[in-house]
Amino acid sequence: MSATAVDTTGNLQSPFLCSEEPHAPNGSLLGFWIYLMSDCFIFASLFVCYAVLGTSTAGGPTAAEVLDLPGLAVNTALLLVSSVTFGFAMLEMARKRKTAMLAWLAVSGLLAAAFVTLEIHEFLGMIAEGAGPGRSAFLSSFFTLVGTHGLHVSVGILWLVVLMVQLGKFGITEANVRRLQCLSMFWHFLDLVWVGVFSFVYLAGVLR
């Protein structure tokens, strides 16, 4: 077989210049579901670590002494509302209304950014009071679990910004729809994880 091919105009084509193949139907969504399942194992492991170490304070502060439940209720509301506004953006995407979709995505990103800002403020306040991750096993497991979730939210915000630029430039294309669907799954997944964090770490810790 010849190492080169001839196109319809008679020009030689390199064998390394392969034509673009069509994207497999739902391939990205299936792959992303598999990724989310692997992320579930990561968070499950961190929850187990916290369950084992959550009472090992080594004479340091307990959860009831360092966690601000009313403040965390506000933080939780920010993240849950961002999930609702993201749903509105998906509805506008289905209606092909790019401007409204981008507006709702921007609101979702701002709410998530406020969530991360308040979480960082909480961490800095705890560290300033001597309740840093090196103080006890409880605080180490706390900072690891909550910090891992916050890192995921930060990555989601960065992903959202990049995708908004692509949507603004290229519009609601098939590729951008796939990307937005994957981001939507990621966004709602993080909300579900945070409900677990708030209930198991904050609420149960304060009431313990």
Q: Is residue 14 in a domain?
A: no
Percent of the chain with pLDDT over 70: 87
Percent of the chain with pLDDT over 90: 69
Q: Is residue 162 in a domain?
A: yes
Phi, psi of 12 (to 5 degrees): -75, 140
Q: Is residue 8 in a domain?
A: no
- Tell me what the mean pLDDT of segment 6-21 comes to: 45
pLDDT over threshold 90, residue 81:
yes
pLDDT over threshold 50, residue 2:
no
Point out which residues pair with 12 in neighbouring strands.
Answer: 6
Measured CA to CA, the distance from residue 71 to residue 131 in angstroms comes to: 17
pLDDT of the residue at 208: 67
pLDDT band at 59 (very low <50, low <70, confident <90, very high): confident
pTM for the structure as a whole: 0.84
Q: Is residue 60 in a domain?
A: yes
Q: Is residue 9 in a domain?
A: no
CB 6, CB 13: distance < 8 Å? yes
Q: Give SS3 for 13.
A: strand
Kindly state the tokens that stand for 98. 């790019």
Number of domains in the chain: 1
Measured CA to CA, the distance from residue 207 to residue 101 in angstroms comes to: 41
23 vs 143, more confident: 143
- Tell me what the mean pLDDT of segment 112-141 comes to: 94
CATH of the domain at 44: 1.20.120.80
Q: Is residue 5 in a domain?
A: no
Q: Where is average pLDDT lowest: 3-7, 150-154, 196-200?
A: 3-7
Written as one letter, the residue type at 64 is: A
- Tell me what the mean pLDDT of segment 14-20 comes to: 42
CB 147, CB 197: distance < 8 Å? no
Q: Give SS3 for 11.
A: coil
Instruction: Note down the domain range covering 56.
Output: 25-207
Mean pLDDT over each residue of the chain, to the nearest integer: 87
Kindly state the tokens that stand for 63. 């959860």
CB 197, CB 145: distance < 8 Å? yes
Q: Is residue 16 in a domain?
A: no
Q: Is residue 49 in a domain?
A: yes
- Tell me what the mean pLDDT of segment 77-88 comes to: 96
